[in-house]
Amino acid sequence: QPMSQEAMLEAAPDFILVNEDGLVLSGGTPTALKAPGAMLTPAGKNGDVFSLPGGYLQGLGLNSPSAIRAIAAHVHPELGPPE
């Protein structure tokens, strides 16, 4: 479910995590940054939208460890790429 503009601004995310559909460009901007308030957040100002395959974001399962490693590598690039 999309966040409200107020919730987005209050959260002030450093990056926005979306499924691959959120990276589809709309007028040169990722769809995720078209959400109300998204461009006013640190993530929006830096254009930091991070995507994972949809299967990684649909509950806990066999893909969860891979998803966690991918997110950790994005948040802490000094750790290196996920294995």
Give the pLDDT of the chain (83 residues) as one tens digit per residue.
677 889 989 999 999 888 877 677 777 678 888 888 899 999 999 999 888 888 888 888 888 898 999 999 999 989 877 66
User: Partners of 50 in the beta sheet?
Assistant: 17
- pLDDT (0 to 100) of residue 6: 92
Specify the pLDDT at position 33.
85
What is this structure's pTM? 0.77
Amino acid in position 73: A
24: Cβ–Cβ under 8 A, 6 or more apart, which residues? 30, 31
Residue with tokens 């589809």: 24
Determine contact, residues 50/15, Cβ cutoff 8 Å: yes
Burial class (CB within 10 angstroms; exposed 0-12, middle 13-18, buried 19+) of 37: middle
pLDDT given at position 83:
66
